[in-house]
A and B are shown apart, each in its own frame.
Chain A
């Protein structure tokens, strides 16, 4: 691990001031991504700003939705009664991720900023455009079984690893951030950047900005929602494919739907085209197949990950069928 100077921030203003003063700095929340990557020398900040003392660990009801403080731990959020009751997809996504120890540590803000598990990104001896712009992509013609099939570019095919963010994407969450110039709200759909020509740029967050909370707006039919995750082992593994779905049903007809996919995109992948296919239709297998086709439209296999196209289609169809059976 490279040497760094340690700073403990006592409040938000303090944290932002420290970050503004020190250009080469990282905020430390749960540490489950940052400390891991610092040990790999992938992250080499000169300054680490500990934000664990910040008063950002509350979940509150807001206009039928919920506001989640950035420092709310994944386990607390997953078990919060408001989340379990109104947004089961979010609770299930959180509990499908990592291990109990990691969920006790990982924060809401940190989970949104989780870095990819691409082996080439995590190995400083390999080329990686995300870690070292212009050095090339080891995964494109390398071993890429876990890599993305949606939202990729010729410069990067790294998968976004978060489960929580997939659920939040389906729920139209809004990220509230605070920086030296004040506060702003970023819809999650505009928070992540596709790799395109600049895989090193992952979000629209400015370097001095701190995530302070995430707002999940009211959505009545999210009570009929679920998260389905497919992985190499039954627990404690990243998704090969996952689906966050919510269905608004009247009789056997779908009035509205929310769909996002995980494990297959370079960003948490909202599938609006699939939602459009479902609206006004009955929940039948032909409709599910058409929705799944729409969701995977434009997917590009790169060799070892070709299986993900069919896996993601089937994962989504099963998730939708199960959601349809919920009362």
Chain B
């Protein structure tokens, strides 16, 4: 479907893409304008990844591509290629939560929960990034994830809790 006034410029062509998400390969025909975020949510029904601002400002759509945290809303699905996408649905092993998920529960790292999948995906990536030991270092590296409820103190606690049990990289 197309809402643009200039649709007449082109026939609406769909292109075939392959997305590898949480270890599963999916073949999809998509409008080239489809973002990774929309492909995940609307086509693969992986609605754990949230749409907040849809403009690269809030971090709610944070996912991992080849292990690095990126914004799904500014990534065209067609440009992902054969890289591996990991979403919040791919963190737990069955009923065993990822340590970061467990820490968010234990530390009460959320209120409404809308930003939480993005916060968690960012936090999981942070564990493997150069990050100083202090709360301020964590705050700096979590600055791309906005929480309008203001759960920041407990989010930092949750991340520091995991880092203290796993050891930190300097």
Contact = CB atoms under 8 A, between A and B. Distances in A.
A104 B68 contact: yes
Nearest to B69: A101
B55 A39 contact: yes
Given A100-B122, A104-B70, A35 B10 contact: no
A99 B143 contact: yes
Interface string A267-309: 0000000000000000000000000000000000000000000
Which among B32, B62, B145 has the highest number of chain A CB atoms within 10 Å?
A: B32
A104 B15 CA distance: 26
A31 B126 CA distance: 22
Interface string A15-44: 000000000000010011001101100001
A207 interface: no
Nearest to B7: A3
A39 B32 contact: no
A50 B79 CA distance: 7
Contact of A5 (B10, B35, B145): B10
Contacts of A35: 35, 56, 74-76
Contacts of B145: 99
Nearest to A38: B33
Contact of B143 (A36, A53, A235): A235
B81 A31 contact: no
B141 A100 contact: yes
A301 B76 CA distance: 40
B143 A236 contact: yes
B108 to A, nearest CB: 24
B162 interface: no
A50 B17 CA distance: 14
Interface string B1-45: 010101101101101000000000000000111010000000000
Interface residues of A, number: 32
A2 interface: yes
B159 interface: no
Task: Give the size category of B's interface with A.
Answer: 35 or more
Interface in B51-74: 54-56, 59, 62, 68-71, 74
A102 B71 contact: yes
A105 interface: yes
B60 to A, nearest CB: 11
A234 to B, nearest CB: 8
Contacts of B141: 100
A31 B54 CA distance: 13
Nearest to B129: A100
B163 interface: no
Contacts of A44: 6
A104 B69 contact: yes
Contact of A102 (B6, B56, B76): B56
B140 interface: yes
A101 B70 contact: yes
B98 interface: no
Ranked 9 nearest A-B pairs via Cβ: A99-B144, A235-B143, A6-B32, A236-B143, A104-B68, A35-B74, A1-B33, A101-B144, A3-B10
21 contacts: A2-B4, A3-B2, A3-B31, A5-B32, A6-B15, A8-B81, A28-B79, A31-B76, A32-B74, A35-B35, A35-B75, A44-B6, A46-B10, A48-B76, A50-B78, A50-B79, A98-B144, A104-B69, A105-B70, A105-B75, A236-B143
